Amino acid sequence: MKIQTHTEKQSPVAGGWRSMGSGSGAARRNSSLEHRKSQMENGFTLVELLLVLVILATLAAIVLPRFTGTSQRARITAAVTQISTFKTALNAYEVDMGAYPKNLTELLQAPPNSGPNWHGPYLDSDTIPKDPWGNDYIYTFPGKHNPTSFDIMSLGPNGQSGNGEGIIGNWTTGNNAN
């Protein structure tokens, strides 16, 4: 019996050895499997990508409402604080002038015929501040809710006075004493 050694793949056949070479079916199958394995190792499957998207969407659904609620509460708190600042300025004006102003600009500029009693400006800004939603504060004297003094309010997040829901005024802030 004769032993042959070859470097290429061979298969035993009747009457000797036959070279399988690189073009044989078995070699192509092995090469194709190895190619598929390397492709799978380099990328993500559709199921994996969808799973990641579902997880991210779930986290966003949990986290985002918490942040937006905090933002809205902060704006409401800012409006209440600004209304309190207006109340202080309006009361100081009333002490100096003997009456509340006709409009909020009188807190920044002396009204005609104010005489020496006006000691303003009564606000620390050059303009009348807007509410946290970018709308003007509404000032009325005498007030509907405070007939002996004034009402000052923000229309809140929706900016509409409709049914009064969402309105933040000096009569809704817990301390009605003007």
Q: Where are the domains of the chain?
A: 76-169
Tokens 């070859």 belong to residue: 6
Q: Which two tokens stand for residue 144?
A: 């509907």
70 or 52, which is more confident: 52
Q: Between residues 32 and 57, which one has the greater pLDDT? A: 57
Q: What topology is assigned to 76-169 in CATH?
A: Glycoprotein, Type 4 Pilin (3.30.700)
**For the residues 80-90, what does the mean pLDDT come to?**
90
Beta strands in 44-159 (DSSP E): 138-140, 151-154
Q: In this predicted structure, what is the pLDDT of residue 139?
A: 92
Pairing verdict, β 138-140 and 151-154: antiparallel
Q: Which pLDDT value is given to residue 175?
A: 47
DSSP percent split of the chain into helix, strand, coil, nearest 5: 45, 10, 45
Residue 152 has a pLDDT of 92
What average pLDDT does this structure show over 29-53? 72
Q: Is pLDDT of 71 > 50?
A: yes
pLDDT of residue 178: 46
Which comes out higher in pLDDT, residue 121 or 115? Answer: 121
Which pLDDT score is estimated for 73? 82
